[in-house]
Each structure stands twice: as C-alpha cells, then as structure tokens.
Amino acid sequence: MLQQITKGIRVTVASRYHGTVFHNKITRHAFAYHIAIENQGKNAVQLLTRHWKVQEALDPNSIVSGEGIVGKKPVLQPGETHTYSSNCYLCSPVGLMKGIFMMINFSTTEKFEVAVPPIQLSAPFILN
C-alpha cells in the first residue's frame, strides 16, 4: 500500500490482479484497486472530480476524467475516511495509474488538487 498527503488529505492505494477477462471483445488483464481518502484537516471537504492517466506497455495511454468516484461525491468531515474500490482493464499484464482528485474546502470555498499515489498494476507472473 502506498499513501500520500496533500493539504491535509491522505490518500492510500492498493491494487490486486484478478486474472484475464473478456472485456469489450478483447482478452484483458483485470486489476482491482482500493482507495481510502482521509480528511486529516480541520475543515469539511468534498471530492468533486477525478482525473486518471493510465499507462501500459501494449496500448496507448488513456485519460479517464469525470464527476466524483464510482457515482459519488463524498463529503468528508475532519477525521472521516471514505473508501472505495474499482477496476481497470489492460491489454498488458503491467501498467500504472496516476491521478488527482479535485476537492473543495467548504470553509474557504477553495478548490484544490489532491495527488493520488501512483497505482502499480502488475500481474504476479510478471514479477518472477
């Protein structure tokens, strides 16, 4: 697990390989990733958007951006943690996800970016 703190928001990530699947008429390597977002600051914040850059060896880089995370825009009071899991499908058995969350501080109305630690996506057989 990796973690990073930006402006009082700690983001912890972990990933897991789930084998191959047939996705969009192509055999792909399936990865699940789990993210915990903890508000270590003094003000309530809300996650507004996400922006991912997915890199892999056998396919061009892709960009994934959108509102919230898995259909939610969580509000985190000081000391609260929001966790979620999602999936990523790659052509190759190794890749990397880099990203940011755009958040807003309710007390100051400041929007700010929170860095997400790079998520390593590696099939166990690649590491041997």
Interatomic CA distance for residues 43 and 85, integer angstroms: 25
Interatomic CA distance for residues 90 and 105, integer angstroms: 35
Over residues 32-64, the pLDDT tens digits come to: 999 999 999 999 999 999 999 999 987 788 999
96 lies in which domain range?
A: 2-126
- Predicted structure pTM score: 0.91
Provide the CATH number for the domain around residue 60: 2.60.40.1470
Over residues 18-39, the pLDDT tens digits come to: 999 987 788 999 999 999 999 9
Interatomic CA distance for residues 95 and 121, integer angstroms: 5
Q: Please give the tally of structural domains in the chain.
A: 1
Interatomic CA distance for residues 55 and 61, integer angstroms: 5
Q: Contact 56/69 with Cβ under 8 angstroms?
A: no
User: Per the structure block, which two tokens stand in for 82?
Assistant: 């929001």
Structure confidence at residue 128 (pLDDT): 60
